Amino acid sequence: MPPQPPMGGRHRHAMPAKKAKDVKGVIKQIWHYVEKQKAALLVVSLMVIVNTATSVYGTMLIGTAIDKYIIKLDFAGLARFSALLAAIYLVSAFSAWLQSRQMTVVANKTMQEIRRDLFENLQKLSIKFFDSHPHGELMSRLTNDVDNIGNALSQTLIQFLSSILTFIMTVSAMLIVSPVLTLVALLIIPASIMLTKNIAKLSRKYFSEQQKFLGELNGMIEETISGQKVVKIFGREKIITNEFSEKNEELKKVGIKAQFLSGIIFPMMNSLNNLSYALVALIGGWLLLMGNNTLTIGKVSNMLIYSKQLARPINEIANLFNMLQSALAGAERVFEIINQPPEPSEGKKLYKEAISGRVEFKNVTFAYKEGENVLKNVSIEAQPGSTIALVGPTGAGKTTIVNLLTRFYDVDEGAILIDSEDIRTLDRTSLRQNIAIVLQDTYLFSSTIMENIRYGRLDATDEEVEQAARLANIHRFITHLPNGYNTVLSDGGEGISQGQRQLISIARAMLADPAILILDEATSNIDTRTEKHIQQALLTLMHGRTSFVIAHRLSTIRDAHEILVIDNGEIIERGNHNTLYEKKGFYYNLYTSQFKRTTG
C-alpha cells in the first residue's frame, strides 16, 4: 500500500519516509500497545487457526469425495458428503468474519492510544522542536503515519499469521498425501523468496521518494490555498501552476516506479505458481499412468488444489512487504515524537501573589544556530510595574528577548532573573502562568468568542470574560453579533476583521491577569481609531505590572519608563522618549521618519 500524502501544514521541505532504522525497536513499541488487548488477540489467533484448519481439511475432503463418491457415481453419498463440506466451509467463513471484526477493533483501539500519546507528547515539546519541524510534516505523522500503522495491524497481522499457518498446514497435508509431489510444489519457494527480496529492496527507495514528493506537493497546495489573495494580487497564478506541474511530474515519475515494482510482484509470483501447478499436474499424471500405488485421482486433485493454496500465503507475504515498509517507516516517525523527551518543567514554583515582577537580563547572549548570535551581551533591568519598550529594525532581536523571557528557548550565556531567581531554575508552567503575551499574529481557535477569551484563564466566569472584553473595548462589538459571545469563530477568526481578532486576543491577556505582560506589536494590525480605543485599557492593564512592549508605532510607547533601541542583537541606545529624542540618534531618526510618513 503506497504512503498517503501528508495533511495540512505550511510548505517547507518535507521529511521523506525512510526505511525504519530500528525495525525490532519499532515492532517492540507497536507490540507494547497491541498487547493490552490480549483477549481480543487470543480470539483472533483462535479464529485464524480454525479458519486455516477448516480450509485445509476441506480441501483434503474434496479428494476423498472424488475417490469414494464421484468416481463410483455414488450420488447419495456425495450429497451427504457435500452437506458436511458445506458445514465445514460455513465454520471457516464465520471464523474469517470474526477474526476480521476483532482485529479491526484491536487496530482502531491501538490507533486511538497512539494518537493520544502522540498528541499529548506534542503538547509537552519545546517551541524549538516545532520551529525545527515543518508543520505539514508533523500533521502527516498524526494522520497518515498513524493510519498506516492501523492499516498494517488490521490487514497485515491477520494475513501474516494466516499465511504462516496456511503454509505450515498445507505443506503438512501435502506430505501426508504425497511427499514426492510436495517436493515438486516446493521448488518455487526459493525463487519466490529471492524475487520478493530483490524487488522489495528496489521498491523501498521509490516509496521513500514518493512520500517525500507527496509531502512537498501537499504542503505547496496548502500554502497556495492559504495565500490565494497574495498569489492573485501579484499575478503569480501561472508561475505557481508551473511549479506545481514540476513537482507533480516528479511525483508521477517516482510513483510509476514505486507502483510498477510493487505491482509486478504478483504477476511474477503468479507465473511461478502456475509453473508449480503445471509440474504437479504433469508429474502426478505421469505417476498415475505408471501405476503408482500410493496415488489416486482424488489425491492428485488434492495436490493440485494444495499447490494453488500454497501459492496464496507466499503471494500474501510478498505483497505485505509494501505495506510493512510504509507502516514501519511511518511508525518510526510517530514513535520518534512519542519518545521525544518533553520540555523540562521541573523547578521552583512561581506564584503571582508572591512576586514583585522585577526582571533582569544579565549579559545575555543567544543564537538559534551555533555561531550566529541573535543577541549579544544584552543587559536589561525592569523594575516592578515598569514598562520597557523594545524598538528597532526587523530581525534586530526584539522577539528573541520575549522568547527567552518565556523560556521558549534558554540563554546560551548570561542569565535572566525574575525577583533575583534565575528562570532556568523555575518551573516552566508556573513561569508562563505569570506571563501573558499578545502576539502580532493573532491566533483564535475554532470555538466561541467566549471560550477564546476564556483561554486566558479557564476557570473564569462569564462575567469575568465580559469584563475583560469591556476593558479591551470589544464588548460592544461582540454584543452586536447575532449570537453575541456564543458566536463561533472558524478558520482562525474568519468573518471578523484583523483588528477585532486582535482585540479578542488582548481581552484574553487581560483575563489572565498576569504579573508580567508582553505586547509583541499588539496594535500593529489595528487601525488608528481602534488603537486609541484600547490604549487607555492597555495602560490600565499595564499599571502595576512589569510590561515589555515591542512597538512598531513609536507613538504608542512614548510613556514607557525605558525604551531600548536594539540593532543587530545589541542595545545601542536606552532611555525614555525625551532623552532619546534629544539625543538625535537612531531612535530620533526612526521616530521622525514615522512622524513624517503619518503627517505627509
* Average pLDDT of adjacent 10-residue blocks, the chain of 600 residues: 34 42 80 86 89 85 80 82 88 90 88 88 84 76 81 78 84 85 80 73 74 77 77 79 87 82 73 78 82 78 80 70 73 86 79 82 93 93 92 88 91 94 90 84 85 90 92 88 88 74 86 87 64 68 85 81 93 93 91 66
Max alpha carbon distance in the chain (Å)?
119
What is the dotted CATH code of the domain comprising 346-434+552-600? Answer: 3.40.50.300
Closest-CA residue to 16 (of 323, 251, 338, 249): 251
Q: Residues for the chain: how many in total? A: 600
- Residue that the C-alpha cell 500474501 belongs to: 316
The pLDDT score that the predictor gives to residue 350 is: 76
Q: Burial code of 177-215, b = ≥16 C-beta within 10 A, e = fewer?
A: bbeebbebbeebeeebeebbeebbeebbebbbbbbbbbb
Q: Burial code of 395-420, b = ≥16 C-beta within 10 A, e = fewer?
A: ebbbbbbbbbbbbbbebeebbbbbee
- Residues contacting residue 281 through CB under 8 Å, at least 6 positions apart: 300, 304
Quick count: other Cβ atoms within 10 Å of Cβ 561? 14
What is the dotted CATH code of the domain comprising 23-338? Answer: 1.20.1560.10
Residue 358 near residue 240 (C-beta atoms within 8 A):
no
CA distances in angstroms from 317 to 65, 164, 174, 263, listed in the order given: 32, 9, 20, 14
Q: Quote the CA–CA distance of 341 and 122 in Å, as a whole number.
A: 10
Report the SS3 class of residue 391: strand
- Residues contacting residue 522 through CB under 8 Å, at least 6 positions apart: 438, 439, 440, 502, 505, 506, 538, 549
Residue 492 near residue 513 (C-beta atoms within 8 A):
no
Q: Quote the CA–CA distance of 401 and 29 in Å, as a whole number.
A: 40
DSSP-assigned letter for residue 485: G
The pLDDT score that the predictor gives to residue 2 is: 33
| Chain-centre distance for alpha carbon 136 | 8
107, with CB counted inside 10 A (0-12, 13-18, 19+), is buried
DSSP-assigned letter for residue 18: P
Q: Quote the CA–CA distance of 385 and 382 in Å, as a whole number.
A: 8
The pLDDT score that the predictor gives to residue 530 is: 64
- Residue that the C-alpha cell 470474526 belongs to: 98
Q: What is the pTM of this model?
A: 0.67
Segments of the chain assigned to CATH 1.20.1560.10: 23-338
H or E stretch including 373? strand 372-382
DSSP-assigned letter for residue 448: B
Backbone region of residue 351 per phi and psi (left: phi > 0; alpha: psi in -120 to 50; beta: other values)? beta
Pairing relationship of beta strands 546-550 and 516-520 according to DSSP bridges: parallel
The pLDDT score that the predictor gives to residue 417 is: 95
Pairing relationship of beta strands 570-575 and 413-418 according to DSSP bridges: unpaired
